[in-house]
Chain A
Amino acid sequence: MVTAHAHEPFTKKATNTKRGHMRSDDLSAPLDRLTRPLVREHGELRPATWDEALDRAAAGFRQGVERHGPNSFGMLSCARATNEMNFMAQKFARVVVGTNNVDSCNRTCHAPSVAGLAAAFGSGGGTSSYTEIEDTDLIIIWGGNPRFAHPIFFQHVLKGVHRGAKLFVVDPRRTSTAEWADRWLGLNVGTDIPLAHAVGREILHAGLANETFVERATTGLDEYRELVEPWTLAAAEAETGVPAEAIREMAHAYARAERAQLCWTLGITEHHNATDNVRALINLSLLTGHVGRHGAGLNPLRGQNNVQGGGDMGAIPDRLVGFQDILDPEVRAPFERLWGRPIQGTKGKTLTQMFESMESQELRTLYVIGENPVQSEPETHKTTGRLRSLDHLVVQDIFLTRTAELADVVLPASASWCESDGTFTNSERRVQLVRKALDPPEGARDDIEIMCELANRMGQEWERPSAEDIWNEVRSLSPMHRGMSYARLAELSGIQWPCYSEDELEPSYLHSRLWSEDPEERGEPAPFGIVGHSPPVDLLDEDFPFRLTTGRRLDDYNTGVQTSGFSSPLRRGELLDLSPEDAAKLGVKDGETVRVTSRRGSVLTPVSVTEAMRPGLVFMTFHFPDQVDTQMLTIDATDPIAGTAEYKAAAVRIERVEEEARVSAAAS
C-alpha cells in the first residue's frame, strides 16, 4: 500500500506529533480524527463551516502581514507528510506570504547532521545506502539505538553482521543494539567529542591515517592534529569514562577496516553543541578515507518517514528545494522567474528562533501543519505561553492536539501518508512513490487543497495541482531531482538523489569525487572540523546528581500519537530506567513511583531497574506525555548552528515518593 513503509520505519523520538484526546490512565487511547473545522469564539473553540474557517484563517494571516510585514509570519511544516506537501508549504511561505520563515521538526533531530555534513562535503545527506551497510567490514553506531528506533535500518545492520561485519556501539546505555555488538563503549553523556578526538589522535599516532585520502581530499590536518593532541587515551578515559584500551581498540579497528560505516542518531544530535559533535565524527572518516567509496560512509539515521524530504524540498529557512543556497542570487533567479515574486536573500527563522521571537513579538502569526510543538518542544510551559502570545495561530492536523487546542482556527487535514498521492525520501536519499490508499474521513481535506484555498483568499490564484504536477515543478527547479519522473520512480521502485538526468543513475554513495586524482573533478576539499569539547550545559551537582538522558522504546513513537492507539505487550508506560546500584542506594524497587526533579520542573514516574544503566545515569522517553511529561525536565539549551535542543542531557534528582503516591492515590 504505502511504498515508503518498506524502506523507512515510521519512527523517531522526541519531536512534534499529532495526538488525540487521551486520559492519563489509559495508555492506548482511541484516536479521534478531526472532521470539522473549529474556530475560536469568546475564548472557546466551536465547530464552523469550511468557508468560515478558511476565511478566518486567511484574514488573520493577511492582517499580520499588512501590519507587521511578511517576516512576522511563520510556517511549521510536517516531516511525515509527502515531499509534495512540504514543497507547497514552503512555497506558501515564500510566495503567498513572502518570507523564509519556514521550518519543520527535523530541527529536533537531524539539522545538525545536515549542517555538519554540508560543512564538510557541501551537501547534507547520509553518504551511503542501506545495501552498503550489508557490504561493509565494520559498523560503528554512535549515539543511537537503531534496534529500537530504526528497526528497518537495523535489519540491514544485522545482515552486515551476519556476513561478518564487526559492530561497535558507542552509547551511555548498554542498549539492545549494544547487546548485538562486538564491543560496547559506555561513555559519559555529552563526551562524544573527547572520545572522537582520542580516536583521531590514536589513529594519527599509530600511523594509521589514510595519507592518500587526507592529502587529496581534505584540508586542515595540521590544525586537527594540534586540536586532538591533548586527548591522549588517558585523558579521554578520564573525561569519557571509557577504558583507554577500549578506545584504542576502536581506533585501530576503524582505521584498519577496509570498509567502515559510521552511523549516528540523536545521541549525537540532541546536544547543545550538536553540529560540533557531527563534525568530530566526520573528522574520523576524513582521517581514514571511510567516505566516498562503496561500503564506506557516514550515515545519520533519520527518524520520521520524511525528515530527509522535508529538508530537501526547501521547507527549511536557509535552503531552496534541492539543497540550494538561498543566499545565492543566481540560485534564486529561476525560482523568482517561475513564481513571479522576489525571494528574500536572507535566511529565515529556524523553529527555535521562531519560538524565541514570539516572546519579542517579532513573530505574530503562525501556521502549523501537522506538528505538535506543545508536547515535543522542551519546557512545555514556556512553549504554551509563547503560542498564547501570538496574534493568530492556525493549526492544520488530523487530531485535536495540545497545540491545536490553543489555535484560533483548526483545520481538519488528511493523513498524507495514506490519504494522498506523492513521494517520500528516506534516510538513504531514496525518493519513493506513495499512493493514496484511503479516502480521508468525511469533512477532512487534503493539506495541499487547504493551502490552495488559503492562497486564493490571500490574493494568489492557485488551482489545485496534482501531486505529479507539483513533483514536476520540483524537478524543474532542483537539478538533483531532475531525472526522477513519476514513471521512472515507479519503474525502479524509487531512486536515490542525486539523479540529474532521466537516462542515468548515479552511484549509490556520495562524494566519490573526493577520491579523484584530478583536482578539477575532486572539487572543494573537505575541511577537518576544528571543534572543541563543551560539556552538557545542565551541570550535575549535589542537588541534581543524576544525568537524565532520553530516547525511545521499540513499540512507541515520539509523543505516542501514532502508536498509543495500538496495544503492545511490551508497553509499560513511562518509566525511569535506573541502575540496580542506584535503585539499592535509593531503596526503590522496580515499578515503584519516584519523583524526578530538574532545575525546571518535576514529574512522578515509576522506575524500571535495569543493568543497561550504570550508577548516576537514568533514562526516560517522551512517549506518554499525558502520564509523565518528560519535557518538563529537559533543558532548551540549543545548538547555535542548527538550533536543536539538548534533550540528551539534563541534571535531575530522584526521590522516593511511595508514601506520597499512596496517599494521593487513595484520595483520588
Chain B
Amino acid sequence: MDLKFLDEAPTTAEREAVDSVLGPPESGWDGGTRQDTDLRYARGGHTARDQRDMLLPALHAVNDRVGWISRGALDHICRRLTVPPAEAYAVASFYAMFAMHERPRRVVHLCTDIACAAAGSSGLRDRMVERLGPPGSTEGGTTWHESPCLGMCERAPAALALQAGDPARYAVAAPAGPDDLDALAESASADGPVAPSEGNGHRPAVRTTYGADPLPGTAPEADAASAVPDAGSPDHVLLRRIGRVDPLSLDDYRAEGGYAALREALRLGPAGVLREVNDSGLVGRGGAAFPTGRKWSATAQQPDAPHYLVCNADESEPGTFKDRVLMEGDPFSLVEAMTIAGYAIGAQTGYLYIRGEYPRALRHLENALALARERDLLGTDIMGSGFSFDIEIRRGAGAYICGEETAIFGSIEGQRGEPRSKPPFPVEKGLFGKPTAVNNVETLVNVLPVLLMGGPAYAAVGTEKSTGPKLFCLSGGVRRPGLYEMPFGATLRDLVEAAGGMPEGRSIRAILLGGAAGTFVRGDELDIPLTFEGAREAGTSLGSGVVLVLDDTADLASTLVRVAAFFRDESCGQCVPCRVGTVRQEESLLRLRAGASPAQELPLLREVGQAMRDASICGLGQTAWNAVESAIDRLGLFSEDTHQTAAPGDRPATEEAR
C-alpha cells in the first residue's frame, strides 16, 4: 500500500460530497489544506486504514452528486482513506453504476431481462436508441443502459432513471409505455429546490440519499402495495402490513403490532431467541435454504469478537422482487428483525446491504433507521434492556455477485466484491474477518412471527421440512403477476391459479423456478409442490422464490441467450471456469439461435457447463448452466437431432451450490 497519489484536484462539489460522508479532513495529509503542523506531525496508520469500508459510500457520494467519478475525486477519496488510487480504481470499476468517465447526470436503466423482454422491452430499446443513441452514448443530456432485472418484474417492462445532484433523484416507469420512457429520457433537469423536509409522516423527516420528489415530468410511482395483488388478505403474515401502514411512519408500524417481537426477544434473552428460531425450523429464503437457527447459534458461539450481522438486501436474482416490496412497504419490520437477530447472535452492529438500484427502498430504510434511533429503538440501551445495537446501510452499486454471502463482505469492506473460498465459513470469519451471520431480508422478517407465535407454532405452518409462510415472485404471462404469500405446501398450480391463470388463448410454454440460477419446468408439471423438498424431488429448486411464467409466444432461445449474457456480464472473473465458461456458453447459444447444429453445439455446452459446475469458486459459476441445461433436457429445446433426458437428481440442487 504505498501511496502514489494522482496530481489532480477535486472540484468543490466533489470535495463536499466526499466530506459529507467522511466528515471534514483532519489535516493536509488526508486531503485538507496543508498547514504548518502538517510539516511536523501526521496521524494515520490503523485509524486511517480502518476506514477502508467507507470507500464504497464515498464513491457513491461523488457518483450521486456529480454523476461520475473523476480522477480528482478519486484522488481525494484516496487521500482521505489512505487507499492507493490504483486500488480504489479497481474497486470503483468493479461496479456497473459508477462511471469513471464524464457522462450526463441522468442515467436511464432500461430492463431487458427475462420478464421485461417477454413484455416487449425490445420495442422500448429501439425507442431509446432513436432518442439517445446507442447505450452508453454521452452525447445528449441523458445517457442510458440496458439493465439486468430491476426487481419490478410484476410491472414489466420496467425502467429506472437516476439523476445525480444535490440531492440525487430518481423516477420509475413501470410498466413503461413509450411516453413514460420519453419522460425518463428527458435531459437532466436542473437541481430543483429541495423541498424542505417536513415530518408529516409522508415525507421522511430526515435527509435521505434520494430526494422525495420524482424527476420533473415523470409519473409518480405506484405504492409498494400495488405489487401485492391480494394485499390486505387476512391470511397474510409477512405481508400483513403492506398497504395498511404508512411505510414512513414508526407510529403506524407500532399501531400494527410493531416492536412486540423485539420486546418478546428481550424477555426471552438471546438463548431463548435462539431456541425459538431453532424450533421454528426456519430456513434461509435467500436461495441456499440453510437453517437460520443453526447459523445464528454457530455465530453466537464464536469466541472471537465482535460479531456482525449482515442483512443481504442485494436482491438481484432476475425475477426476484420480494425483498424490495418488504423494504418499501414495511421497512420497520426489517429494522426490528435485524435488531432481534443482532441480539441473538451477540452483535452490536448490523450492516444492511441494499441493492444500488432500489432508490425507494433505500429512502424508506434511511427514514426508518433515523426514526428508530430517535425513539431509542436503535442505539445504546434499547428499550432499557442494556442491549446496544445499530444498523449501517451500505448500498451496492450494480453487481449481482455482491449478493453472494462472502462477496458481500468484500464489498462492505471497500474491496472488490469477489467471493471468498469457504471454509472458513462466515460464521467463523466473515465481515472484517469476524464471526458473521448473513441473512436475507425475507428470512429476517420471518423471525417476527416466529417470536410472536412461538417456534413450535410457527413450525406447524407449512410442511414438516419447509415451515412457515413463503413469498413467491410471480411474473410473466399470468393474468395478475405480483408478490404472493402462501404457506409452504401449495403447488405450482395453486399459485398460478391464485394469479388468475393464463389469459384467454395463451398456454404455458415454460416456468422458470428460482431465477436465472434456477431451472425451467414444463407447463404440464404444475403439480410440483412448492416446498424445498418437493422442488428437489422434482429436480428443480425454489431458489429465491421466482416463478416466471413464459407463454407460448416466448422466444426461448433468446431467453437463454439473455440468461447466458447475464452470467457472462456478472461473473466477477476471479476463477477461470466461470470467467471463460460463461463467455463460451453465451457464444454457443448465439450460434444455436442463429441455426447452428445442436449435434455440434450441445456436447460443447454440456462440457462447459459441467466444468463451471464442478470447478467454480462460488454459486454464480456453479449455477450458470442450470437454466440452459434444464431448457435443453426438460423443455427439449434444440432437441431435433439430439434428445437426451437427464434423470432428476442428476444435478446438484441449486440450494447446495449456494
Contacts and interface: CB of A to CB of B under 8 A. Distances in A.
A and B associate: yes
A615 B40 CA distance: 11
A184 B42 contact: yes
B245 to A, nearest CB: 47
B43 A182 contact: yes
Interface stretch (B44-52, B180-188, B407-415, B547-555): B44-52
B644 interface: no
Interface stretch (A45-53, A241-249, A416-424, A541-549): A241-249
A123 B45 CA distance: 34
Interface in B25-45: 28-29, 34, 37, 39-45
Contacts of A167: 45
Given A147-B2, A611-B34, A179 B40 contact: no
A306 B32 CA distance: 44
Contact of B40 (A147, A176, A242): A242
A182 B29 CA distance: 13
A243 B42 contact: no
Interface in B514-548: none
Nearest to B3: A179
A301 B34 CA distance: 32
A224 B498 CA distance: 90
A166 B44 CA distance: 10
B142 interface: no
Contacts of A183: 41-45
Nearest to B42: A184
A179 B41 contact: no
Nearest to B45: A182
B3 A241 contact: no
A185 B44 contact: no
A180 B1 contact: yes
A440 to B, nearest CB: 37
A243 B3 contact: no
A161 interface: yes
Contacts of B45: 161, 166-167, 180-183
A310 interface: no
Nearest to B36: A614
Interface in B93-113: none
Nearest to A187: B40
Interface string A578-602: 0110000000000000000000000
B46 A166 contact: yes
Given A147-B2, A611-B34, A179 B44 contact: yes
Contacts of B40: 185-187, 241-243, 246, 614
A186 B44 contact: no
Contacts of B3: 176, 179
A582 B45 CA distance: 28
Contacts of B34: 580, 611
B44 A181 contact: yes
Nearest to A176: B2
Contacts of A611: 28, 34
B82 interface: yes
A178 B37 contact: no
B39 A184 contact: no
B394 to A, nearest CB: 24
B30 to A, nearest CB: 11
B44 A243 contact: no
B279 to A, nearest CB: 40
Contact of A182 (B1, B28, B37, B46): B46
Contacts of B44: 179-184
A178 B39 CA distance: 13
A174 interface: yes
Given A184-B44, A611-B34, A179 B2 contact: yes
A420 B277 CA distance: 70
A161 B43 CA distance: 15
Interface in A169-209: 174, 176, 178-187
Contact-residue size bin, chain B (C-beta under 8 Å from the other chain): 10 to 19
Contact of B41 (A180, A242, A615): A242
A489 to B, nearest CB: 35
Given A179-B82, A243-B37, A174 B42 contact: yes
Contacts of B82: 179
A180 B47 CA distance: 11
Contacts of B2: 147, 176, 179
A615 B34 CA distance: 12
Contacts of A161: 45-46
Contacts of A615: 39
Contacts of B41: 183-186, 242-243, 246
Interface string A141-184: 00000010000000000000100101100000010101111111
Nearest to A611: B34
Nearest to A590: B7
Contacts of A147: 2
A185 B40 CA distance: 6
Contacts of A174: 29, 42
Interface in A211-252: 241-243, 246
A422 B46 CA distance: 42
A166 B46 CA distance: 8
Contacts of A243: 37, 40-41
B447 to A, nearest CB: 35
Contacts of A164: 46
B3 to A, nearest CB: 5
A484 B133 CA distance: 77
Interface in B446-495: none
Contacts of A614: 39-40
Contacts of B43: 182-183
Contacts of B29: 174
B46 A186 contact: no
Interface in B1-22: 1-3
A42 B637 CA distance: 95
A179 B39 CA distance: 13
A186 B1 contact: no
A186 B39 contact: yes
Contacts of A185: 40-41
B585 to A, nearest CB: 39
A503 B315 CA distance: 64
A176 B3 CA distance: 8
Interface string A559-587: 00000000000000000000110000000
Interface string B196-236: 00000000000000000000000000000000000000000
A615 B38 CA distance: 12
A524 B47 CA distance: 43
A39 B413 CA distance: 66
A590 to B, nearest CB: 9
B6 to A, nearest CB: 13
A185 B3 CA distance: 19
Interface string A596-639: 00000000000000010011000000000000000000000000
A176 to B, nearest CB: 5
Contacts of A186: 39-42
A180 B46 CA distance: 8
B204 to A, nearest CB: 39
A147 B28 CA distance: 22
A240 to B, nearest CB: 9
B23 to A, nearest CB: 19
6 contacts: A166-B45, A182-B43, A182-B44, A184-B41, A187-B40, A611-B34
Q: Which 6 A-B pairs have the closest CB atoms?
A: A182-B45, A614-B39, A184-B42, A186-B40, A246-B41, A176-B2
Given A243-B41, A246-B41, 11 more contacts: A161-B45, A174-B29, A179-B82, A182-B45, A182-B47, A183-B41, A183-B43, A184-B44, A242-B41, A243-B40, A580-B34
Interface of B: 1-3, 28-29, 34, 37, 39-47, 82
Interface of A: 147, 161, 164, 166-167, 174, 176, 178-187, 241-243, 246, 579-580, 611, 614-615
